[in-house]
Structure 1
Amino acid sequence: MGLGAGVVCAALGLAVILSPFGNEFERTQGLDWLFKTRGKATPPPGVAVVGINNRTGRMLDLARLPRDWPRSTHGMLVERLVARGADIIVFDMDFSRAKPGDEDADFARAITSADRVVLFEWLSAHRERLVSANGQDAGWTWVEEKRSPTPVLAEAASAIGPFPLPKIDQAATEFWTFKSSLGDNATIPALALQMKALPYYETWIALLGQAGASGLDALPATAEQLRSPDDIKALMQAFRGIFVNDPSLAERVGWRIDAQPDDKQRQLLAALATLYGGPDHYFLNFYGPPGSIPTIPYEDVLSDDRAPAPGTTDLAGTVVFIGYSDLFAPDQPDRFFTSFTGDDGVDLSGVEIMATAFSNLLTQGNVRPVALRTEIAIIVAFGLVAGLSGFLLPATAGVPTVIGLAVLYGVFAQWRFNETSVWLPLATPALVQMPCALLIGLIGQYRLKRHAEQQVTRAISMYLPENIVQDLTQREFDPSEVNKVVYGTCLATDMSGFTTLSETKKPEELAEFMNSYFDELATALKRHDVDITEFHADTIMCAWTSAEPSPEVCAKAVGAALDVCDAIERFAAQRGRLRLNPRIGLQDGYFYVGHTGGGGRMAYSILGDTANTAARLESLNKYLGTHVLAAETVLKTPDGLLVRPLGDILLSGKADATPVVEIIAKSATATDRQMALCSKFSTALTYFREKDWVTAEQLFETIRAEFGDDGPSQFYLSYIRGHKSSAPTFDGPAFVKMTEK
C-alpha cells in the first residue's frame, strides 16, 4: 500500500507536467518563485540602457511623445554615445515613418558615421481569412508582416532586426534568437551579439574551418566585406544553416574556443557557438526589478550641464540599448509583467528585456529548464519518496518528513537556479505532490489506525460486552467507571456430561467442539440482546441489565432460555448419538458487573447472590430432571408461557428458600399432556406445602404412574419418603432443603 501511495503521487506529478497546463503552471508558479527567492542578480558588465521616460521631452524642451521629436535628436544621442566609447548602439524604436525635411538624412549621417547602430524592425502578426479562387472560405492563416525603418535609415544602419516576444497574459518569459517563420531571421539580441563579435571574425572563421565546418568558402573572408544590414542578415542565416546541418559542430568548435588565451575573445566566440548551435528561443534570466541593468536617462546623455549617473561616464566597450524605460511610471508604454513587477505596478520595459536577452546570450546565462526525461525522473523520484514517507511513517513523523523533503528539494532547486540558472521543476513537487503525499499519508494513516482500532475492538468485543467496548474505544478509559451494581436477570447454563466428553477427546478437539457449542448458544443469546456473556469451561453465565427493576429484561432472559434449549438440542442432533441435557437457571435481582482479578490481569465478571442463585438453579435441574428453572420473581408476567411452580427450595448455601418455577414451553406449543401434568402437580404440591405427607405422597405416586418420566414428581416422592421420620415441625408451608449443589 505504501508503494501504491508513492505511485499515485508520482503519477499525479507526471499528469501535471505532461499536460498543456504543466508548463504554464511551472512557469507562473515555480519559475516565478525561483526568481523572487533569488532576488536581484548582478548583470554582466558592458551592457546599459538609455531610457526615455515621461520627463525626457520636458527636460529637452521637446514634445512629450518621442514620435514627435526631430530625428536629429537621436542623431545627437548617437554622437554622444560614440564619444563616450559605446561599442554597439541598439534602438528599440519604430522609425518606419519618414520625417519631413532633412530629419531622416541628419539621423542617417550620424548612424553612418558611427558604423555600429542596430535599428529595430517592427514585426506584427495577425490571423487572416483565406478565400479560394471561387470565393469560398478556405480557413485561416497566420500572417507576419515586417515594417522596416525608412529606406535612408535602413541603408545607414549596420544591422536591422525584429524583437518579437512571446507574451502570455502580459508577461514575458522567453525570447527568440532566430525567427523560423521569417526564414531564420536573427532577432536584435542575436544581431547585437554578432556585431559585438565582428572584431574576431577572422578567428571565428578559422576555428570553424579547424572544426571541419562546411560551406565556409561562400562566406566573406573579412568583416570589412560586411557593408549592409542585408550582408549581416545573410551571414547569420548562413552560420545558422551550417550549425543546424552539423549538430556536433558546436561541441567541436567549443573545444577550440576553450583554448583561446584572451578571456573577452573566448567569451564572445563561445557565445556565438551557443547562439548558432542552440535552440531558436530561450527563457529569459531576469536580473531583478526595473533598472537592474544600468539605466541612463536619455536626457542625461544629451545635457552638458547634467552630471552623468555613477558608473556611466565611460561607456567604452558597452552595448547600449535605447528605448522607452520609465522606472517610476506604471503606465509606461511597451511594458511587460515579470516576476519582479513590484507593488507599485512598474513593469520591465521592452528595451530592458532586450538588453537582458543580449546579456543572457553574451554570458550564456539564460534560464535553462532541465530536459524532459530529467524532469520526469525528478517528478517520479520525488513522488515515490514523498508518497512512501507520508504513508509508511506515523503521522507525527510522516508529515514533517514529507514537508522536510519538499523543503530540502526546494533549497536544492533554488541553489541550482542561483548558481547555474538551471530550472528544476518546483511548483509540481511543492504544490501538487507534497499535498498529495500528505493527504494520502494522513488518509492512509487514518485508515490503518481505524483498521487497527476495529481489529482491537473486534478482539475486545470477544471478551467484553458491547457497551463496555464502546466506552473503552470511544472515550478515555477509566476502569472504575465500568464497575457498577445493576439490576438484571442472570442466566446460567452448563453442558451435561462435560467430564465424560473431555476424557474422550484430545485437547484441541475438545476446544474446537466447545467453541462450536458456545457459538451456537451465543447466537441464540444475541437474538435476545444479551448484555453480558461469560464463558467458563463448559458453563455460560450471562445477564440482561437495566438501571431499575424491569419486566423487559426478565422477558428477554426467559425467551433466551427457551431458545438456548432449542439450540442445545439442535447442536446435539447435528452430532448423531451425542446426548446433551439442557440445564438453565434464571434469577433476577441486583448484582455487580465489572473488573475482577489482580496482579495486573483483570476479567469482566458478574458477581453477587443473583448470579450465584442462577447457578444453583441451573444445578438443581440435575436433581429435578428439568431443563429450565427460574426463581418465581423472574416470571412477573408469565403471559404466553406454560410454567409449573415447583415449590420453595432452600438451595445449598442459601439462608432462605427460593420459590422455584419450571418453564416448560411457550403456551402456543404446549401439549395437552403437559398442561394436565402441570394441573395435577399443582394439587400434589399444595398438600406437600400443607404438610399432608400421606395425601401428597399418594398424589405424586399417581402422577408418576401416569407420567413416568416427570422428574419433579419423582423428586418430591423420594423426598417425602426420605423425610417422613423427620418431618418439619416449623410453622408455615413446607419446603425442600438441598444439601448438595
Structure 2
Amino acid sequence: MKLHLLRTITIALITFLLGSGVDYFASIETTVGLDSLFKIRGVRQAPAEVVVVAMDEASEIRLGVGQDLTRWRGFHSKLIQQLQHQGVALIIFDLQFITPHANHDGMFAAAIRKAGNVLVTDCVQKLLRGDEGFEGWDECSEDNREPFVKKETRQEKPLSDQLIAMRKIVPTAKLAQSVLDHAPFYLTNDADNSIVREGWIFLDALAESPTLPVVAWLYYLQRTGELKGVALSNMPFSTWLIEQRRQCLPNSQKTSHPDKKSQLEQLINNIVCLEDTRYLDFYGPPQTLRMESYADVYEGKINNLHGKVIFVGKANRHYLSGKTDFFQTPFTNTRSGKIAGVEIMATQFANLLENRFITSVCPQALWYVVFGLLAGLLLTQFAGLLGIAVSVLLSGMYVGLAVWLFKRSGLWLPIAVPLLIQLPVAWLLSLLWSRRDLLNERKRLLAFVRQVFPQWIHFIPTSPGQWYAEKSTEALAFERDVNGLCLATDIEGYTTVAAEHTPHEMWELLNDYYQVLSNPVTSHKGIIADVTGDAMMAVWIDSPPATQRLAACLAALEMGVAVDRFNETTRVGRLPTRIGLHEGDMTLGKLKAGEGSHYRAIGDTVNIASRIQGANKYLGTKILASAPFAANLTTIVSRPVGLFRLMGKDEPLALLEIVGIGPDVSLIKNKICHQFAYGLVAFQQGQWDEAAISFETLLNAYGEDGPSRFYLNLALAYQKKPPLEWDGIVIFEGK
C-alpha cells in the first residue's frame, strides 16, 4: 500500500513539473488546448443585437472609393442617417478620424450630433524599442510622427530596449466634440502573424483607459434602461471608467459586500477592477456575426436594424493576402482567411453583453496536480495494459467534461497538458515500474530455482526476450513500420503506346525510361520501393519531415524535366508521366509468394499517393501533392488546387500543385497562381458566376491552365445544375 501511494505521488509530481514546464515555455495549453476546444465546440450563436457593417470589396467598387480609407468619409453622414432612420441603438466606428477633411467634416459632424449615439476609435501608438520603430504611424496619419521620448542632452546613447510606452491620438476636434464618446481599441499587429485570443478591457499603459467595447457596453445598457438605479456620474463613460479603475483596491484590501450591490453593479465592478484582458469567446470563423455590406446599408437596402448595435469598419468578404487590420483566431484557417479587427471588437462587445468570456474554473496548475494524482492512482492500482486502458477511459470522460463545460458556459479546463504530456509520461513511468517489477520477480524465481531445483537452472531463459520463442528476431525482421513520404508515378496513355509496339520494343523503351525516372530519386536519397508495369513507387524515410518533403519535391520536379527531355529524344514513343506525393504511415517488408519473396511498401499512404497521381488527369497537372507538403518549404512554389474526395476515400483531402523552385518560377506563373486562388475561393463558397468569370479571365489573359479549365467547366455545370449540398469538396469518381 505504501509503495502504491509513493508511486502515485511520484507520478503526480513528475507529470506536474514536466507539464507545467512545457506549458510555461511553449504555451501548449493555450495554442493547442484552448484552440482545440474552440474547434470541437464549433460555431456558437451570436447575440442578435450585434451587427457589423462591412466596408467590403463590393462597397469599394459600388461607391468608387477603392482601398483608400480616407475616401469613405464623404459617405459616413448618409450612412448615419440611414441607420438613425431605422432606430439603431449605437453606431460604433472602428476607424481613426485623425486627419481633418474640410470637404466632409462639417456634414459628418452634423450627422453625428443629430444622431447622438455615435462612438469612434482613438488611435493607439505603441513604442517598440527605445525611441525607434513604434507602431501606429500609418494608422495615425503623417501628422503624428513626433517621438515618444525627447532627450534633454545631446548624447547619442540609445534608450533602453526595455522602455515601453503607449499613447493615443484622438479624433479631430470637430468630430471629437460631436461624438457621444471615443476610446482606444488595440490589437496585436497582424504582421506578427500571432493568434488573437485575448481582448483588452483596460489599457493600463494609457493611464487606465477603457477600450471602446467596454465604453459602448455601458452606453448600450444606459439606452436600454438597465442602468436605472446604478450610481453613475454625468461625465462621459470613458472618463468615468478611468476614475473607477483608479479607485479599485488590491484584492487583499477590498471591503465591498456583494450582497449590498445589485448583480449588474457587481458585474460592472468586476469588469472595472479585475484583469485588464479577457480571453474572448469567439462565435466562429470570420463572418459568423451578422454582417451587412456598407453599400447595401448606405443605399437603404437593409432592414431589421432597429435597436441594434452597429459596428462599422473594414471587413473583406474574401481573404486576400496583404490586407491589413486582419488577424488570426482559433477558428481561422487557410479556407476562412483572417478575421477583421472590427469583428473582434464586435465579438468583445457581444461577450460583455452576454457576460461570457473564456474563464478558468481554478488555476490550471491545480488541475495538473489533480489529473496527475488520478492517473497515478489508476496506473498503480491496475498494472500494465489494463491500467493504460482505464486511464484512457478516464481521460475520455475528462475531455467530455471539458468540452461540455466549455460549450455550456465558456469554462476552460486544460486538456493539452494532461493528455499530451502528463498521460504519456505517466504511462512510461508505469511501464518502467512494471518492467522493473517483472525483472525483480524473475530474479526471485531464479534464486528460488537455484536453492530448490538446481538441476533446472540451465533450462531457464537468460533474458526476458527469450521467454516467447515463437517471436524470434528472425520472424520479426521481415517487416518494418515507418512514417515517410511516398512518390507514385504513372504513364499517361501507356496502353495505347504498348499496343503500337512489340514487347521487345516496349522492354527497351521502359528500360531507358526507368533509368531516367530513378536517377532523381536516388540522387535525393529516396528508395525505389516498387516498379510494376508503367508505375513506379519511391519512398523517403528516416529523415526529418521537412528534409524528406523538400527531397521528394525536388525529385519530382527533376523527374518532370528528365521525362520531357526523354520524350524529345526517344524514337519509339512518348511516355508523359504523372506524379503524386503523399505522407503517412507505411509498412516496408517482404511478401512471400510461393517459393519467392518480394519487398514492397504497403499501406493506405501508398494507395492515396496513387490516387493523387491519378488526379492529375482531371486537373491537367503533372505533379500533385497532399497539403502538408507546403509546410516550411520556402524554396518550393506550390498552389492549392482544392479539396477533393478521392475514389474509395471518405475523408476529403486538400491537394496542391508543385509548381517549381522559387527563383525558377516565372512572374506570369506567379500571377496565374494568385488569380487562380481568388477564383478557387469563390468556387468553394458556391459563387459559381464569380468563379466562372475569374477562371475565364485567367485563361483569356494567360493561356491554357489545367486547374483553371477544370474549375471553369465545373462552375459552368453547377450554374445550370447546382449540387444539392455543397461543402466545397470535389468528388473524383475514378482513379
Q: Is the 8 A contact 1:132 1:138 kept in 2?
A: no
Per the alignment, do residues 247 and 57 of structure 1 end up closer, same or farther by CA in structure 2, a change over 3 Å counting?
Answer: farther
Q: Is the 8 A contact 2:280 2:347 kept in 1?
A: yes
Q: Which runs of 5+ in 2 are unaligned?
A: 132-148, 471-735
Q: Is the 8 A contact 1:123 1:164 kept in 2?
A: yes
Q: Is the 8 A contact 1:16 1:22 kept in 2?
A: no
Residue 283 of structure 2, aligned match among 277, 281, 287: 287
Q: Is the 8 A contact 1:330 1:344 kept in 2?
A: no
Residue 154 of structure 1, aligned match among 176, 184, 191: 176
Per the alignment, do residues 468 and 59 of structure 1 end up closer, same or farther by CA in structure 2, a change over 3 Å counting?
Answer: same
Residue of structure 1 in register with 2:271 after alignment: 275
Residue of structure 1 in register with 2:415 after alignment: 426
Q: Is the 8 A contact 1:11 1:380 kept in 2?
A: no
In the aligned structure 1, how far is the partner of 2:171 from the partner of 2:425?
55
Per the alignment, do residues 4 and 19 of structure 1 end up closer, same or farther by CA in structure 2, a change over 3 Å counting?
Answer: same
Question: Structure 1 length normalisation: TM-score?
Answer: 0.55
- Residue identity opposite 1:43 in structure 2: A
Q: Is the 8 A contact 1:176 1:280 kept in 2?
A: yes
Choose 1 or 2 for highest CA Rg.
1
Give secondary structure in 2 for the equivalent of 1:121: strand
Residue 15 of structure 2, aligned match among 4, 8, 12: 12
Mapping of residues 319-338 of structure 1, within 5 Å: 319-331=309-321, 332-338=323-329
Q: Deviation string for 1:402-425 (max 9, x for gaps)?
A: 111211111111111111211122
Residue of structure 2 in register with 1:143 after alignment: 165
Residue of structure 1 in register with 2:356 after alignment: 365
Residue of structure 1 in register with 2:114 after alignment: 113
Q: Deviation string for 1:703-737 (max 9, x for gaps)?
A: xxxxxxxxxxxxxxxxxxxxxxxxxxxxxxxxxxx
Offset at 1:467? Answer: 3.4
- Residue identity opposite 2:195 in structure 1: A
- Residue identity opposite 2:274 in structure 1: G
Offset at 1:234? Answer: 2.0
Residue of structure 1 in register with 2:703 after alignment: none
In the aligned structure 2, how far is the partner of 1:153 from the partner of 1:250?
41
144-153 vs 435-444, which deviates more?
144-153
Q: Deviation string for 1:223-245 (max 9, x for gaps)?
A: xxx4xxxx333222223334447
In the aligned structure 2, how far is the partner of 1:412 from the partner of 1:38?
12
Give secondary structure in 2 for the equivalent of 1:69: helix
Per the alignment, do residues 468 and 391 of structure 1 end up closer, same or farther by CA in structure 2, a change over 3 Å counting?
Answer: same
Residue 244 of structure 2 is aligned to residue 239 of structure 1: yes
Give secondary structure in 2 for the equivalent of 1:398: helix
Give secondary structure in 2 for the equivalent of 1:171: coil
Residue 198 of structure 2 is aligned to residue 174 of structure 1: yes
Q: Is the 8 A contact 2:325 2:340 kept in 1?
A: yes
Offset at 1:471? Answer: 8.3
Q: Deviation string for 1:62-88 (max 9, x for gaps)?
A: 121142424120111111111122111
Q: Is the 8 A contact 2:80 2:112 kept in 1?
A: yes
Mapping of residues 220-619 of structure 1, within 5 Å: 220=234, 226=235, 231-244=236-249, 252=257, 256-258=261-263, 271-304=267-300, 306=301, 308=302, 313-331=303-321, 332-372=323-363, 375-462=364-451, 463=453, 464-470=455-461, 474-476=466-468
Give secondary structure in 2 for the equivalent of 1:333: coil
Per the alignment, do residues 436 and 6 of structure 1 end up closer, same or farther by CA in structure 2, a change over 3 Å counting?
Answer: farther
Give secondary structure in 1 for the equivalent of 2:27: helix
Residue 67 of structure 2 is aligned to residue 65 of structure 1: yes
Per the alignment, do residues 172 and 202 of structure 1 end up closer, same or farther by CA in structure 2, a change over 3 Å counting?
Answer: closer
In the aligned structure 1, how far is the partner of 2:272 from the partner of 2:206?
16
- Residue identity opposite 1:284 in structure 2: L
In the aligned structure 1, how far is the partner of 2:252 from the partner of 2:311?
32
Identity %: 25
- Residue identity opposite 1:88 in structure 2: L
Residue 79 of structure 1, aligned match among 67, 78, 81: 81
In the aligned structure 1, how far is the partner of 2:352 from the partner of 2:437?
55
Q: Is the 8 A contact 1:391 1:444 kept in 2?
A: no
In the aligned structure 2, how far is the partner of 1:174 from the partner of 1:471?
60
In the aligned structure 2, how far is the partner of 1:371 from the partner of 1:9?
18
Per the alignment, do residues 248 and 114 of structure 1 end up closer, same or farther by CA in structure 2, a change over 3 Å counting?
Answer: farther
Q: Deviation string for 1:630-677 (max 9, x for gaps)?
A: xxxxxxxxxxxxxxxxxxxxxxxxxxxxxxxxxxxxxxxxxxxxxxxx
Per the alignment, do residues 406 and 142 of structure 1 end up closer, same or farther by CA in structure 2, a change over 3 Å counting?
Answer: same
Residue of structure 2 in register with 1:558 after alignment: none
Residue 31 of structure 1, aligned match among 25, 34, 38: 34
Q: Is the 8 A contact 1:387 1:440 kept in 2?
A: no
Q: Deviation string for 1:444-483 (max 9, x for gaps)?
A: 22222232233323433442344311289724589xxxxx
Q: Is the 8 A contact 2:51 2:311 kept in 1?
A: yes
Q: Is the 8 A contact 1:284 1:357 kept in 2?
A: yes
Q: Is the 8 A contact 2:167 2:206 kept in 1?
A: no
In the aligned structure 2, how far is the partner of 1:151 from the partner of 1:397?
73
Q: Deviation string for 1:611-636 (max 9, x for gaps)?
A: xxxxxxxxxxxxxxxxxxxxxxxxxx
Aligned length: 440
Residue of structure 1 in register with 2:103 after alignment: 102
Residue of structure 2 in register with 1:526 after alignment: none
Offset at 1:333? Answer: 2.5
Q: Which runs of 5+ in 1 are unaligned?
A: 209-215, 221-225, 259-265, 479-741
Give secondary structure in 2 for the equivalent of 1:40: coil
- Residue identity opposite 2:169 in structure 1: R
Q: Is the 8 A contact 1:254 1:273 kept in 2?
A: no
Per the alignment, do residues 164 and 50 of structure 1 end up closer, same or farther by CA in structure 2, a change over 3 Å counting?
Answer: same
- Residue identity opposite 1:453 in structure 2: R
In the aligned structure 2, how far is the partner of 1:472 from the partner of 1:420?
56
RMSD: 2.9
Q: Deviation string for 1:196-218 (max 9, x for gaps)?
A: 123478955x444xxxxxxx7xx
Q: Is the 8 A contact 2:77 2:111 kept in 1?
A: yes
In the aligned structure 1, how far is the partner of 2:347 from the partner of 2:308?
14
Q: Is the 8 A contact 2:18 2:421 kept in 1?
A: no
- Residue identity opposite 2:79 in structure 1: L
- Residue identity opposite 1:432 in structure 2: I
Per the alignment, do residues 17 and 364 of structure 1 end up closer, same or farther by CA in structure 2, a change over 3 Å counting?
Answer: farther
In the aligned structure 2, how far is the partner of 1:330 from the partner of 1:318?
29
- Residue identity opposite 1:406 in structure 2: S
Offset at 1:9? Answer: 3.7
In the aligned structure 1, how far is the partner of 2:463 from the partner of 2:215?
80
Q: Is the 8 A contact 1:117 1:157 kept in 2?
A: yes
Per the alignment, do residues 247 and 388 of structure 1 end up closer, same or farther by CA in structure 2, a change over 3 Å counting?
Answer: closer
In the aligned structure 1, how far is the partner of 2:187 from the partner of 2:174?
27
Residue of structure 2 in register with 1:638 after alignment: none
Offset at 1:294? Answer: 0.7
Q: Is the 8 A contact 1:120 1:161 kept in 2?
A: yes
Give secondary structure in 1 for the equivalent of 2:283: coil
Offset at 1:254? Answer: 6.6
- Residue identity opposite 1:405 in structure 2: L
- Residue identity opposite 2:319 in structure 1: A
Mapping of residues 197-208 of structure 1, within 5 Å: 197-199=221-223, 206-208=229-231
- Residue identity opposite 2:327 in structure 1: F
Q: Is the 8 A contact 1:57 1:65 kept in 2?
A: yes
In the aligned structure 1, how far is the partner of 2:354 from the partner of 2:335?
31
